[in-house]
Amino acid sequence: MVSSMSSKADVWQGTLALMVLKTLERAGSLHGYGIARRIEETSAKLLSVNYGTLYPALLKLEQEGYISSEWGLSDNNRKAKFYQLTRAGCKQIEKETEDWEQMTAILARFLNPKIA
């Protein structure tokens, strides 16, 4: 997932996949390093992506049909695997977003008893 380093936060289980999908939705086709950098930038550098977790997550998302990949050349002319969102991935983003919105609403009730 994402490692904890001094002021960097851990990512809840299951959130890395959603972050990858949303990153590809916003940025289009990216290689693994680019995905990791975008996640870190989007988090205002509060998260640090662990490549040992990112690449298995990419493989799983591809096996589930949410992303596809193809080989190409990176900006520095190196061979890299580029990932892109599929139609199934777009639908999965909607489902996971709804799930997280529901979960955060539930947690808000515990964190702020006045809401409950």
Whether 116 maps to a domain, the answer reads no
Angle at 24 between CA 11 and CA 18, to 5 degrees: 30
The whole-angstrom separation of Cα 99 and Cα 91 is: 13
Task: Give the mean pLDDT of 96-108.
Answer: 93
Whether 37 maps to a domain, the answer reads yes
Whether 11 maps to a domain, the answer reads yes
Res 14: pLDDT: 73
**Is the pLDDT confidence value at 11 over 70?**
no
Report how many domains make up the chain: 1
CATH number at residue 52: 1.10.10.10
Res 96: pLDDT: 93
Task: Give the mean pLDDT of 39-53.
Answer: 91
Whether 36 maps to a domain, the answer reads yes
Q: What pLDDT, in 10s, does the model give residues 53-90?
A: 999 999 999 999 999 999 999 989 999 999 999 999 99
- How far is CA 27 from each of CA 30, 31, 37, 85, rounded to the nearest angstrom? 7, 11, 12, 10
Whether 6 maps to a domain, the answer reads yes
Domain with 101, as residue range(s), is 2-111
By DSSP bridging, strand 48-49 and strand 2-3 are: antiparallel
Global pTM reads: 0.84
